[in-house]
Amino acid sequence: LCDPFEQSLVVVRTSSIPNSGEGLFARVPLPEDTIVSYYNGIRIPQSRVDNREWEENSNTITLEEEDEDEDEKGTSIDVPPPYDKTTSYCASLGHKVNHTFDEARQNCIYSHCDHPRFGPIRCI
């Protein structure tokens, strides 16, 4: 079930970045500091993310740096194959944002939010 809020603001299309697959694009002009998409998926320990190949982390984002009650390094949100395709999963679309580490080219930020359906997650 797609999120109607996201559907009103963004659309998934083929990315113009070579070898990037799908990307997330604005449907309408977006004012600064507007939440446009949510990043939800499966919660996994950060140690699992750290111990696997980089390619397996293409749709993974840190939710919590450290778990308060454990000696664990924290929790991440993962959207693993085949759920990285919108034909399999579209309840949130944040995993479709193509991120760059080049600060001059960044046009969005990731933040924490409390989603009414998913609870604590990340948003864009």
35/9 Cα distance (integer angstroms): 9
pLDDT digits (tens, 9 = 90+) for 92-105: 999 999 777 788 88
Share the mean pLDDT of the chain: 90
Q: How confident is the model at residue 70 (pLDDT cuts 50, 70, 90)?
A: low
**Residue 28: its H or E element:** none
Q: Cα 89 vs. chain centroid, distance in angstroms?
A: 12
Mean predicted confidence (pLDDT) in 64-90 = 83
